[in-house]
Amino acid sequence: MFVRPGRILEFLIGTLIAKNYWWSTLFWKIGAIVFFAFYFSKVLKTPVFLKIIKFYSYCFVCFSIIYILFNWTAFFNSYFPVIDMIGAVVIFLCVLFYFIELLNSEKILVFYRILNFYISSAIFIWWLIITPIVFYDNYTFYEVGVYDRDWNYIELRRLIYISANIFMYSTFTFALIFCKPEELNE
C-alpha cells in the first residue's frame, strides 16, 4: 500500500520486503496461532490437554520455521497454505479441548454467561469458514497472471472474509459487554 512510487516507503521498491507476505505470515499465520495456544493454555485446566496443546504448539512453530527456511525466497513472495492448515489444526484442538472441559464441568449450566465460551465459539467458526479458502487461493493468486485472475472469486473471497470478521468481532464485542468476569459466574 505504501510501497509505491511517490509514497513514503518508495525506497523499498525492488527489495524483498516490498510486499507484506512475510509480515502476514509471521504475525497472523504464525503469531495468531501461538497467541491462541497461549490463551487456551491459560483457560484449560486438564493437564493432559495442556501438554497436548503445548506439544502441538511447539511442533507448529518448529515446522513453520523449518518450512520458511527451506522456502526462503517464497517467504517474501507468497503465502504458505501448509502453515495455514497446520495452524487451523492447532486452533481446532484448542477449541475442542475447551468444549470437552466445558461439557465435563458444572459451568455447562451457565455457559451463556462465560466469556471464554463466546471467544472459543467465534474463533472456531471463523477458522471453519476461512480455512477452506486457503485451498482455492493457489488457483487464483499464484499461478495465473494479473489479467487471468478470476475476479468473481476474488470478490466472493473478500465478502467471505469481511462477513467472517464482522461475525467474529461482533461476537467478541457482545461477549465483552454482556459476560460477567469468571469469578462472578461461579
N- to C-terminal Cα separation, the chain: 48
DSSP-derived secondary structure letter, 181: P
131 and 164 Cβ atoms separated by less than 8 Å: no
Residue-wise pLDDT for 149-175, tens only, equals: 677 888 898 999 999 999 999 999 999
Percentage of residues in the chain with pLDDT exceeding 90?
55
Nearest to 43 by CA among 140, 147, 114: 114
C-alpha to C-alpha distance for 161 and 120, rounded to whole angstroms: 18
Residue-wise pLDDT for 81-114, tens only, equals: 899 999 999 999 999 999 999 999 998 888 888 9
Q: 133: exposed, middle or buried (C-beta count within 10 Å: 0-12, 13-18, 19+)?
A: middle
Rounded to two decimals, the pTM is: 0.83
116 and 107 Cβ atoms separated by less than 8 Å: no
C-alpha to C-alpha distance for 101 and 107, rounded to whole angstroms: 9
C-alpha to C-alpha distance for 150 and 163, rounded to whole angstroms: 20
Q: Give buried/exposed letters for 60-79 (b at 16+ CB in 10 A, else e).
A: beeebeebbeeeeebbbebb
CA 139 to chain centre: 21
Which residue ranges make up each domain of the chain?
A: 19-185
